[in-house]
Structure 1
Amino acid sequence: MTTSDPLSPVSRTAVSVARVRAYESARPDPLFVDPYAAAFVTAADVPAPGDGPRSSLAKALVAHGILRTRFYDDRLLAAGADQVVLLAAGLDTRAYRLDWPAGTRVFELDLAPVLAFKDRVLDGIGAEPRSGRTTLPGDLSDPQWPGRLVEAGFDPSRRSVWLAEGLLVYLTAEEAAALLTAVAGLAAPGSRLLLEQGGDVAATPNDPSLAHVTELWRGGLGPETHTWLDRHGWTTELTALDMVGEAYGRPLPGPTTRGFIEAVRRTDG
């Protein structure tokens, strides 16, 4: 993932997420271990994670990234669905590092350059997935992606679990609504959707060192993400980020209004 690679600025944030996961995995008491994250950082030729974040915003983002990784790990496995869809999968390695039940299929959707880099690194270190893994290169703004997912073996008549980790904030409200509408069209009753509760990106503190990330934020559906889902055939449960931190023994460095949504597709959806 060098400067010559045709990656979008948003795609490059996947390396930042890998750095956070490598940082956490190297701790003596990690909430999770991603044994592949450091390989992505090395291959991308970016500095390895050091002593941790310095600014208050960086500390908050790192804490959020660590907690959401563990939270989603747990909720994906608890969902009890053998069809798992990772939207904008980036450098996610859950197909390789989680103990999936036999027969589980993990579908990873992202842009072709991201998936190509990811596969090149994983193949280079001999990584083997612990589930059936299918990659679908493409753009989630393309209305053809739901049909391509079904053609790849996804069965919309059966329950599934969907993950949109760190995704909606990079979309406009209209783009986020269109994506979630497409997901709803594929999610059978009882299916689950995991994503972040949005916030007001206009209130993000100014931190020049993180401008390459925060300037890309469009806000998605913002603080009304859960109410939008409730109106469109889902039943939502919101778990506050500070509660997650307490549950995992990692109290947050400061107050936050953020959290995670677990939505279940209703029969009247």
Structure 2
Amino acid sequence: MTDTTRQEDDSAAVKETSFITAVIRAMENDRPDPYLSDPHAVLLSTPRSRTMAREALAAGGTVGSVIVRGRFGDIALGRAVAEGIGQVVCLAAGSDTRAWRLPLPAGTRFFEIDLPGQLEAKEQLLAPVRDRLTCRRVRLSEDLRSGTWPQRLTAAGYTPDEPAVWIIEGLLPYLRTEHFTRLLDDVAKMSGHGSVLLIDAPHADYFRDPANERFLAFMRARGSAFQLGLEDFGGFLGSRGWQAEAYTLRQLAEGACGWLPAPPGRLCPPHDHHWVARARLA
């Protein structure tokens, strides 16, 4: 398989799973006791994405990492904006609905970057709630592995010398190590003093746990790299210039993060080995 063919397969995997997460958020929103509220996710729950979500969950996929990182990111983003940060960059934005559902200040610039066609499809599905946008949203179609996205982001109005909130959720399982490290280095170079990084990643134990073998095979069959797991996420981010607080889902369920309501046990099953982190540029 050539590098080009491999990248095309990986891109297809990312696109397919993007709206699966919207289905999971819609399911959570419909619960009588939702940990995460996302009333717009149902608009992204197409028949195809619902079918894929059923298949993924039947194969052993979990909902916890999607829901917990969503609540974690919502609160951290709200705090950063309240501190005065006026630009947000959501990489691999996929089915993220924060620009529509969070009460962001009107002056906030909210940049979304994803593969060509992904954000256009989301906009069409979210057309019924387009009036809910309170911020200035900017859409960029770009493959984050290309190396050209920083220049395009700047050309679109992003200011590298000012602090920003960076959101990178659900992407790292689909990146190879060299792409991941280059992406973090590019983000650091584009970040002004006081910038915040909100990011998640699988723990290395996810790939060692026999309970996840069926789901990993399911993902590999769909072209996903799904191989990047980290023993010490906070330490890794520190080595790339970020001062991080990183938690596993189990630690969050035990109340380890003082500013996040502890997620219920149903969202933190023993085999969902996953990290979420908030970091500032050192």
**TM category, shorter:** 0.7 to 0.9
Q: Measure, in 2, the Cα distance between the counterparts of 1:84 and 1:224.
A: 26
Correspondence list, 1:65-84, <5 A = 65-80=66-81, 81-84=85-88
What's 1:97 paired with? 101
> Is residue 86–residue 164 contact of structure 1 (8 Å, CA) maintained in 2?
yes
Correspondence list, 1:46-195, <5 A = 46-47=50-51, 57-58=60-61, 61-80=62-81, 81-123=85-127, 125-128=128-131, 129-195=133-199
What's 1:253 paired with? 269
Structure 1's 161 and 126: CA in aligned 2 closer, same or farther, altered over 3 A?
closer
Aligned-residue sequence identity (percent) comes to: 33
Are 2:280 and 1:264 aligned?
yes
> Is residue 199–residue 219 contact of structure 1 (8 Å, CA) maintained in 2?
no
Structure 1's 210 and 106: CA in aligned 2 closer, same or farther, altered over 3 A?
farther
Structure 1's 26 and 158: CA in aligned 2 closer, same or farther, altered over 3 A?
same
SS at match of 2:94: coil
What's 2:6 paired with? none
Are 2:19 and 1:15 aligned?
yes
Q: Cα deviation per residue 1:127-179 (whole Å; 9 max; x = unaligned)?
A: 22121100101110111110110111111111101011011111111110011
- When normalised by structure 2's length, the TM-score is 0.81
Q: Measure, in 2, the Cα distance between the counterparts of 1:232 and 1:209.
A: 28
- When normalised by structure 1's length, the TM-score is 0.85
Report the AA paired with residue 147 of structure 1: Q
SS at match of 2:74: helix
What's 2:5 paired with? none
Report the AA paired with residue 208 of structure 2: A
Structure 1's 28 and 195: CA in aligned 2 closer, same or farther, altered over 3 A?
same
Report the AA paired with residue 222 of structure 1: L
SS at match of 1:262: strand
What's 1:3 paired with? none
Deviates more, 1:242-251 or 1:100-109: 242-251
Deviates more, 1:198-207 or 1:184-193: 198-207
SS at match of 2:110: strand
Structure 1's 224 and 32: CA in aligned 2 closer, same or farther, altered over 3 A?
closer
CA-based RMSD:
2.6
- Alpha-carbon distance, 1:103 to partner: 1.2
Deviates more, 1:79-88 or 1:206-215: 206-215
- Which protein is richer in helix relative to its size? 2
Deviates more, 1:167-176 or 1:32-41: 32-41
Q: Cα deviation per residue 1:71-115 (whole Å; 9 max; x = unaligned)?
A: 111111112321111000001010000111331111000012111
- Alpha-carbon distance, 1:207 to partner: 1.9
Q: Measure, in 2, the Cα distance between the counterparts of 1:232 and 1:15.
A: 30
1:223 to 220, 231, 235: 231
Q: Which structure carries more relative contact order (alpha carbon 8 Å, separation 6+)?
A: 2
